[in-house]
């Protein structure tokens, strides 16, 4: 397993739409292991492939409580097939926008279909933090970030701050 580098805004790779995974093979399983290691190390509770610069439709999650055993999950070619009309608000963060948190309103429950690490078809009904996290990660696969749900004023302010930091670090 290898820890990968997480890209931060304004890196344009975060705005790309990821392509479906053709076959769930050993390379994809190795990539999912690297993503889990990168997520745990960050630390975070989710990570999409585009956040390590890989434009494949897959993400990993672990929303288990800190004192509970790990519950790593791998979602390949995920699709939300149903969303509740009920909404819930969570304070979201993003490993690609470090140390910035804001409330975001999303459907409280979703049904998601995906392939697991073995390539088996799965469907789960998610609520609570799992539902929020699934939607946040699926957005990454479509080039969307949680700041896109905020006012233009807040979004522009955070993008400006990170663009300035990237320039100072010579990343642009
Ligand atoms: O996709 C990402 O950038 C990961 C992100 C997932 C997420 C968090 C909160 C709401 C929605 C989606 C994170 O993991 S940010 C870090 C974080 O929330 C966290 C870090 C350590 C312990 C607990 C939470
Ligand atoms: Zn994120």
75-102 residue pLDDT tens: 999 999 999 999 999 999 999 999 999 9
Hey, what are 160's tokens?
A: 């400006």
What's the confidence (pLDDT) of residue 155?
Answer: 97
92 lines ligand 1 (CB under 6 A): yes
pLDDT-flagged residues of the chain (< 50): none
Among residues 66, 118, 123, 137, the one annotated as catalytic is 137
What's the confidence (pLDDT) of residue 171?
Answer: 74
What's the confidence (pLDDT) of residue 87?
Answer: 98
What is the rounded CA–CA span in Å between residue 163 and residue 98?
Answer: 13
45 lines ligand 1 (CB under 6 A): yes
Q: Is 118 helix (H, G, I), strand (E, B) or coil?
A: coil
137 is catalytic: yes
Predicted TM-score (pTM) of the model is 0.97
What's the confidence (pLDDT) of residue 19?
Answer: 98
């Amino acid at each position: 397993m290898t820890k990968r580098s997480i890209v931060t805004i304004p890196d344009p790779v975060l705005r790309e739409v990821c392509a479906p995974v053709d076959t769930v093979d050993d390379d994809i399983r190795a990539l999912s292991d690297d993503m889990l290691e990168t997520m745990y190390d960050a630390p975070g509770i989710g990570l999409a492939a585009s956040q390590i610069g890989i434009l494949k439709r897959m993400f990993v999650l672990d929303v288990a409580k800190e004192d509970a055993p790990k519950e790593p999950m791998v979602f390949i070619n995920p699709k939300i097939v149903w969303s509740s009309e009920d909404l819930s608000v969570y304070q979201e963060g993003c490993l690609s926008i470090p140390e910035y948190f804001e409330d975001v309103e999303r459907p409280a429950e979703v049904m998601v279909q995906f392939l697991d690490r073995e390539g088996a078809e799965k469907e789960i009904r998610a609520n609570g933090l799992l539902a929020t996290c699934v939607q946040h990660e699926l957005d990454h696969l479509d080039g969307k970030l949680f700041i896109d749900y905020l006012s233009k004023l807040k979004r522009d302010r955070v993008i400006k701050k990170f663009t300035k930091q990237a320039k100072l670090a010579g990343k642009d």
